[in-house]
Amino acid sequence: MAAMQLHWDIFCRVIDNYGDIGICWRLARQLAASHRREVRLWVDDLASLQPLCPAVDPRLARQTCLGVEILAWRDNVAVDRVGEVVIEAFACELPAAYLQKMALAEPRPCWINLEYLTAEAWAEDCHGMASPHPSLPLTKYFYFPGFSAASGGLLREAGLLAERDLWLTVQTPRESLEISLFCYDTAPVGGLLEALAMSSEPVICHVAAGKPLAAVSRILGGSGPWQVGKALVQPIPFMPIDDYDRLLWRCDVNFVRGEDSFVRAQWAGKPFVWQIYRQEESAHLIKLEAFLARYRAGLDEPLAGAIRGIFLAWNTGEGVCPAWAEFLALRPEIACHAGCWAERQAALPDLAANLVKFCAAKV
């Protein structure tokens, strides 16, 4: 049945600069390349997609890139047809005209609400849950990415880890500890810079453009680069997503945020520190602890404690310097764990493959 579902439409509203569109773009191009689906990606802010894929022209209402048709999602958009599978990314709400056309289609499209990634157990219970539309003959299915076979899995291109390992074999060995820094403007960057200034070994910290660089600039002044003790704090330009992946592969420690870079840091198989998107009443810390419970399962206390310590310090702003020192002291062991975690996750089916299988069963 899967072969009948050739036409997929993915709708994305850009909320968090690049996170939402990054996920949708990775999914769209993987469905096209690996599963031979005809994918249309509807985006309300093409200017946010262009830095991730420089071949995209944000002025065009319709274009094709890497086998994906990209359409500008504008008010009162004309709907020529609907997909056999329709993905509403992160509850973005489909256009009314598109919904009406879905209701008239025969057979009805498989309608997916792709949810945000969470390690919380309740998401597995809700994964795949059906929600009938209140007035139209349509059913939406809630689809949760996750870290177990009971979830929708994680985005991962075919052969990604093998490609990573091959790329690393041809890289020149380095003497400096290399760090990538991609964070929100609420991150305790000052504490990290203080910790780097006390480093006993040479450090290169690659600071991503945008909010991370602005946060560093507010503290150090000017536009960089800066020398802080033995640490070189080096601004880097915004990177297309494949180049960013290789930066994560290359660095010894990666500071990441949100969802897309969080997942890519895990595929890098290197120690990482995640800044989760902040929510009211510290609800995000519950989500953080849910991931840490999975990620640290089976580790001895010093190792598990060092990982939890730097994650909490980075997300609360308290005790960054001592947490960083403890984390660095156990970096070889943490690196070993990060590599094993990536291998275990890669043994599970990926999100795109799971979606294709799930939708085929709904025909």
**Residues with catalytic function:** 20, 259
62 bridge partner residues: 71
**Within its chain, how far is the Cα of 80 from the centroid?**
31
Which stretches within 206-300 are classed as H helix?
Answer: 211-220, 241-250, 260-268, 283-295
Q: Among 138, 148, 134, 154, which residue's Cα sits nearest to residue 293?
A: 148
Cα 327 from Cα 342, distance rounded (Å): 19
Cα 226 from Cα 184, distance rounded (Å): 20
297 by Cβ neighbours in 10 Å (0-12 / 13-18 / 19+) ranks as: exposed
∠ CA 244-245-248, nearest 5°, is 90
Dihedral sign from CA coordinates of 122, 124, 125, 128? positive
Cα 26 from Cα 144, distance rounded (Å): 16
CA-CA-CA-CA torsion for 63, 66, 69, 71, nearest 10 degrees? -60
Residue 149 DSSP SS3: coil
Instruction: Count CB neighbours of 9 within 10 A.
Output: 25
Return the residue matching tokens 């850009």: 14
How many residues does the structure list for the chain?
363
- Ramachandran class of 17: left when φ > 0, alpha when ψ lies in -120 to 50, beta otherwise: left
Q: From start to end of the chain, where are the E strands? A: 7-12, 38-43, 62-65, 68-72, 85-89, 110-114, 130-132, 139-143, 177-181, 203-207, 226-228, 231-235, 253-257, 272-275
